[in-house]
Amino acid sequence: MPPNCEVALLLDSVDEQQRYRIGVRMKENFYFELNPLIERLHYHLLEIIKLELDGLGIHDINSVQAMMLFNIGDAEMTMGELTVRGCYLGSNVSYNVKKMVENGYLAHERSVHDRRAIRVWATEKGRVLSQKLSKMHQRHLERLEETDIRESDFKEIAVTLRRLERFWMRTADLTARSPVFAA
């Protein structure tokens, strides 16, 4: 008897048994595990950044803002580009930019060509913190050499996640256009 079948047999109806088996299959399916796994990984990275900031005695920027600052790097871009380029994935980008400007990590100005667009870039204070975060990431890479995780593993993961991202983007586009999902 396959594992967990004895539990399914204790359920009252065939319908309950079927729902249980579907749930077991979903838990065993890596596709269904991906979303919560990605969310947990992101959460853990934010927690590591918070610990790094605490260790540096930096309390005027949070981990989300620090990661955003790190992703901006030496670039200058509009607030809209922050999301498009993947520097920030949340919905309150203007709040985080405002806080980083107030605390001296970013500078900003309205575009001379389009007064609606606001360009942002890292200040000296922001570049210094970004460099410290870069050193943190470098330390992590060095420590990873002590594990069985190899550079080729990261390459495979990145390639696969990019493919999955493209699939989900195409699926979202098709779903938005499909009359079947319009109801």
Domain ranges of the chain: 1-57, 59-151
Name the residue among 41, 22, 46 with its Cα closest to residue 32.
22
- pTM here is 0.75
Number of CB atoms found within 10 A of residue 124's CB: 10
Reported confidence tier of residue 60, pLDDT bands at 50, 70, 90: very high
CB 48 within 8 A of CB 54: no
- Quick check: 131 pLDDT over 60? yes
128: three-class secondary structure by DSSP: helix
90: three-class secondary structure by DSSP: coil
- Which pLDDT value is given to residue 1? 46
Residues 146-166 have a mean pLDDT of 94
- Fold exhibited by the domain 59-151: Arc Repressor Mutant, subunit A (1.10.10)
- Does 173 or 155 have the greater pLDDT score? 155
Residues 2-9 have a mean pLDDT of 50
- In this structure, is the dihedral angle defined by the CA atoms of residues 126, 132, 135 and 140, taken in order, positive or negative? negative
User: Would you give the distance in Å from CA 182 to the centre of its chain?
Assistant: 29
- Which pLDDT value is given to residue 26? 57
- Which pLDDT value is given to residue 16? 64
- Does 33 or 179 have the greater pLDDT score? 33
Question: Which residue is it, tokens 């550079």?
Answer: 151
138: Cβ contacts below 8 Å, ≥ 6 apart: none
- Does 112 or 102 have the greater pLDDT score? 102
- In this structure, is the dihedral angle defined by the CA atoms of residues 132, 57, 82 and 161, taken in order, positive or negative? positive
- Does 38 or 20 have the greater pLDDT score? 38
